[in-house]
Each structure stands twice: as structure tokens, then as C-alpha cells.
Amino acid sequence: MPLRCTAFRIPTVAMLCMSLYNALDMAAQKYTAEQIQVLEGLEPVRKRPGMYIGSTDVRGLHHLVWEIVDNAIDEAMAGHCDNVIVMLHDDGSVSVEDNGRGIPVDIHPATKRPALEVVLTTLHAGGKFGGDDSGYKVSGGLHGVGSSVVNALSKKMRAEVYRDGKIYMQEYARGKPVADMKTIGKATKHGTKITFYPDPDIFDTLEFSIESILTRLRQQAYLTRGITIALLDEREKRPEPDTLFPRLYRFHFEGGIASYVAHLNESKERIGHPIHFAKDTPDGFVEVALQYTQTFQEHVASFANNIHTMEGGHHLTGFKAAITRTINAYARAQSILKEKDENLTADDVREGLTAVISVRLKDPQFEGQTKSKLGNAEMKTAVETVVNEMLAQYFEEHPSEGRDIIAKCFLAARARLAARAARDSVIRKGALEGMTLPGKLADCSSKDPSECEIFLVEGDSAGGSAKQGRNREFQAILPLKGKILNVEQARLDKMLANNEIKSLIIALGVGVGEVKDLSKLRYDRIVIMTDADVDGAHIRTLLLTLFYRYFPELIERGRLYIAQPPLYKIARGKDVRYAFSDAQKFSTLKEWGVGEKDLEETEEVEEAVSNEEGFEALTKGHPTTPTGLRGAGKGKEGKEVKKAKVSIQRYKGLGEMNPEQLWETTMDPDRRSMLRVTMDEAEKVDLAFTTLMGAEVAPRRKFIQTHAKGVKNLDV
């Protein structure tokens, strides 16, 4: 019987395969020239905006500003512009004006259209593609998406060019000219002004952040010595408080990137003054500024043609290799490093280092449209040669500062050895225990990291509720006792002596320091879940400091989250609502008929309204009973109408919530709300952690004094 079945099934499978092959063949035959789409002009940009600006969220929105500003900066680098002004208008538009040469307006020989129109409506059109006789010797916009893409992603754009004593103007709608270019008056200046309105059909948000724009403009002013960049905010309503931000800002730095390094280190204890040197090489211009601080982290920023290369590139690789070699050579020449001593490592010489590397080259090869990495291999040799020569010369001329820097590097080396011993101890302990996880960890049953998440919970009480309320299949709970060590002011060896941090590192499974391996991460999501009070905020900040300083890759990959537990439980009979803010609480009370006149009274007796005595105390002396609270009133026909009582419970800690409440409000994937931790602007993030968590008290005091007035409902 089995033989007969097998014999019968063979031709059946063959027939099915043949039928499938024929079907696929017929489908393949339909793949003809008719299926080939040709997108003309700027259509590809509107079809796939993410390919050109990275995303359509707030980052992509701001990328439009960067592209237009970069064009103005290119004019400055070419020596034709020294003034740029950016304006945020109340109608949602942005204007960027420079006093450069102005975009050409004469007829383009190939297209027979004005050059202005060609530049703003054609991809890869501009004056930055030629050789030495082109409009630009160096530029940051060569590999950028350019103003044409900004035009394509704007519902409206207006270009004004001031040159040859005339004002030329042309308007566009979603990348297409509305009318021909025309002259609208006489010009007493020269330059270009671009005004654009981001398209709401493309972007998720149209709200510009003045902080983000300020950071970028300040950075460009540092990198382009002698230029003045201004920002004028004309918006009536701004996302940031008016008390913290004026309407007009101006940036002008004669010190260039040396001033930039001083700015980055203003909240840190510094060693000596910023070291600055610059030199022309056959491959391009190299400029470097650096300074050591008494902190434990490095902050190195690299730029190519004023474009921030966030992922580095060959110029950054050359700098790191050169500074390690130069410091080791100087230490041996001064007999600080003996013949038997090992060289200082790259980590040793970069601890506490703040540096800015800026190169300018004729033909930059960026990786990706967003220019995050420089691919020109020749710049590694150029930067390495300049740093080796100029830094060695500086040490010879400033021996006292050279010895201070060497002493800092030696201290880092000793700490590295101590940290290695502490780290090995942690690993060895895990091995002796059979790689057992921390005893306080309530792990999940699933072994697939992609579906697992771990909650870092404040205290044993909240940990107990979380353990009972969780889904054991994919949710792990790690209670943390008290406040962990502030790692901003501690090296790795001291950090690993902290039991709570040690338990966290073992639970994550990725290791730390030199042996860190993110592929071994045991959880796809790491959720910080603390109380909604001052202590909870402090613990959350300490944990964020730990992840930013030692596991920044987890933040960059979007693995770190902050849970959002409710502040209030509002109940009326069987109707229970949770409010995550005061505004939400008031909205619920208003929906239930509690008038605004009674809200303050309700607030004052939140604990009392849940019982009869409390209700009587609330209504005593009032001519009317607050609507929505328990009490009697007269209906239309004069009958007694009883209303359900309203009780409001303020959660001051996660431990006050029972497991069911914690699950349905904070942990249930179908109903919870969580914040994902990101760090789009590394400079601002580093400054924030240094100011709030660093050893220097003065910057922290200044921060508190500046922002104290903006604090509302301080829970003390």
C-alpha cells in the first residue's frame, strides 16, 4: 500500500510543479516595457522622499533647512559671502538669505531656461560639478540633495536673486514653476533669498525646533571663521518657552574651531588651552583643534567641507591613529615611557579628549545622501601627516602642557588596567556560577531576544507588583535598589563595584568596555520604569547616563524606552479612567460634568470624596452641590436624582498600583504608552549630561537658575 501511494504521488507533484512553472512563466511574459516607470523632473523625490532626506519626520523637516543653509555656507567658503540670516515666519515658512553672488539668472545653453529655474527644478544641477574653473573649489553641497529637493518637498517656494542691480524672482509649487522668472525691482545688494513652505502631505510634523536650528547655525559659524550667521524667529507661538529664548540670535567667532572646542568644554575642568593648527596639503586643507579635560569620556567631532560626518570616515581614522602615535612617541622621547613599558592604547590617549577635525577637499566622496561618512581614503594620510607634525611641534614648544596631557593619559591607563581586573572579576564570577543571572531578576521564559523585553523597576515594592502583573512569556523584571552610581563621575572599575549596575550588565548579557558584544543582547526592548516623582526622575536620569556613556549603541538602535505610568486613577461607579497628566485628569472630570468652578475644590479633597463624611465636608457651606460628585439634586420634575461618586487616586509610586493596574496601564503592549529614547544631536546630549551629572557645580547652578521659572507643579 505505501508503495502504491508513493508511486501515485510522484506524477502528481510533478504535475503541480509544471502548472506552477507555467503560471510563473505566463506572469513573467507580462513583464514588458509597460511595467517600466520613468519618473521625470522631481517626481522621484516626492515619490520616495526618504531616499533624499533620510525620513519625513522632524529630522527630515529640518534637513530642508540644512540644505539651503549649506548652499549659503558654500558661498562663504568660496570667499563670496560673509552674512547669512535664517528666518522662521509665523505662516510656517522658512527663509534663508545670504549676501553671496546670487544664483545665476542668465539662460542656460543646454535647457534654454534661466539658470535659476534649472538649479531649483532639476536634480544634480548646480555650479559644484566642474573643475578648477567651476563656481566652487570646495563645497559641502556637491553630494547633497540640494535646493531642488527642498523645492520638490515644499508646497510653495519663492526664490529671489539680487544681482546686476536687479531683483529676479520666481515661484514654484511642489517643484514646478508657477510662472516664468521675472524682474520685480532694483537691487541695492547682492545674494540669494530662498523661502519655502514644507508640504504637509509629505511631512509628519511642520513644527521647527529653534534649539536644533540654533545648534546647527552655531556649529557652522564656528567652522567658517569670519562669517556672521543670524536667526530671526518671527513665530507668534513657539514650542519652547519665550522666557528662555529671545527672538534674534547672532553668531560670529573669530577663533573658529578653537572657539568651538572651548564651547564644548565650558562645563568641564580643562587641561591647558585649546590646541589649534591648520595646514594645506596636496589632498586638501586640514584644520584641527583639541583640548583635554578631567572627564572620562571623549568627544570628537569631524567635518568635511563643513558637513558634520557623524559616522566619521577616513579623516577621523587618520586623526585617531596620529594622536596615539604622537603621544606615545613624545612620552618615550621624554623617558616617561620606559623601554620595558607598553605603549598607551588608543582608549588611554582619548579619555577626556575633546577635538574638532575639519577638512576641505575638492572632490568629497560621502557615503549616502545624508553625508554621514567621508569615503576619501587620501584624507587619512593627509590628516595623519598634519597631526603628527604639528602636535609634536606643539609639545616641544609647550613642554609643561605636554607633561600634563601625558599624566592624564597615564592615569587613564592605570584605570583601564583596574577596570579590566574588575570586569574580568564580574565575568569570572558569572562563569563560576554557571553564568547564572542575578537572583533578583525575574526572567522571561522565551529565549528569542527579538520578542523579549526587560523592565528596570525602581524598588522591591514596585518590582513585586511588576513581577505579578507581567506576561511571563516575554517580559522580564529587574528591580533596582536605591539610586545607582553616577557614572559621569566614575571610571569603569568603580562602576563595576556597584552591585545594581553589575546586575544590570549581567542581565543584559552584552558585557562592557573592551569585551562589549551587542549581538549577545538578551532583550529587544529595555524599559526604564520609575515613579512619577522627583526621586523617580533622578533614578531615570542616572540610568540614562549609564546607557549614554557606556551603551550608546543601544540608544542609537532604538532599544531603550521609558515607561509612562499614570498619575491618577479616576473612578465613577464602574467607569474607571487613568490620567497620565493633570490636563488629562481635568479633561475627564469635565467630560463627566464636573464644572470648572468645582475643579479646584475637587482637587483639595481628592482623598475625601470617596466617602460620605468627606463628601459632606466638601458640600457644607456651598449653595450648590458640585456636579459629578456624589450627592442629591432636583431633576426637571422635582424628583431626587442621585449621582455616582467620583474618586481620584494620585499614584505617588508604582508600588501603590496593584499588579492588574500596573499591567493594564503601563505594561500591556496593546494599551501602554512608552517613550523611545533617541539622541539626534550628540553635542546637545553630551552637554546636558556634563552639565547635570558632571563634577563642575557652577554650570549646574546656572542651569537651575535659568530654568527654575519654567518648572511647574514641582513635587517635593
Q: Could you give the residue numbers annotated as active site? A: 458, 531, 533, 535
Question: Which set of grid coordinates corresponds to residue 546?
Answer: 549609564
Q: How far apart are CA 601 and CA 621, in angstroms?
A: 12
Strand order from edge to edge, sheet including 475-480:
475-480, 453-458, 525-529, 560-563, 674-676
Residue 87, beta-bridge partner list: 95, 232
Residue 278, beta-bridge partner list: 287
C-alpha closest to that of 219 among 59, 386, 73, 374 = 73
Q: Other CB atoms closer than 10 Å to residue 141's CB: what's the count?
A: 23
Q: Are 667 and 475 in contact, with CB atoms under 8 Å apart?
A: yes
Question: Would you mind telling me the total number of residues written for the chain in this entry?
Answer: 716
Torsion angle of C-alpha atoms 264, 268, 270, 276, degrees rounded to 10: 0
C-alpha distances in angstroms, 223 versus 56, 303, 432, 667, 698?
A: 28, 9, 53, 47, 28
Question: Which set of grid coordinates corresponds to residue 76?
Answer: 562663504
Q: How far apart are CA 643 and CA 633, in angstroms?
A: 8
Name 464's Cβ contacts closer than 8 Å, sequence gap at least 6.
479, 655
HSE of 462, CA atoms in CB hemisphere, 13 A: 24
Strand order from edge to edge, sheet including 353-360:
270-281, 284-293, 353-360, 299-304, 307-308
Say whether 6 sits in a helix, a strand or coil: helix
Sign, Cα dihedral of 176, 178, 183, 189: negative
C-alpha closest to that of 215 among 58, 50, 62 = 62
Q: How far apart are CA 130 and CA 116, in angstroms?
A: 18
SS (H, E, C) 391-450: HHHHHHHCHHHHHHHHHHHHHHHHHHHHHHHHHHHHHHHHHHCCCCCCCCCECCCCCCHH
SS (H, E, C) 200-255: CCCCCCCCCCHHHHHHHHHHHHHHCCCCEEEEEECCCCCCCCCCCCCCEEEECCCC
- Please provide the DSSP assignment of 68-97 as one string: HHHHHHHHHHTTS--EEEEEE-TTS-EEEE
Q: How far apart are CA 663 and CA 657, in angstroms?
A: 9
- Outline where 87-137 has alpha helix (H): 115-121
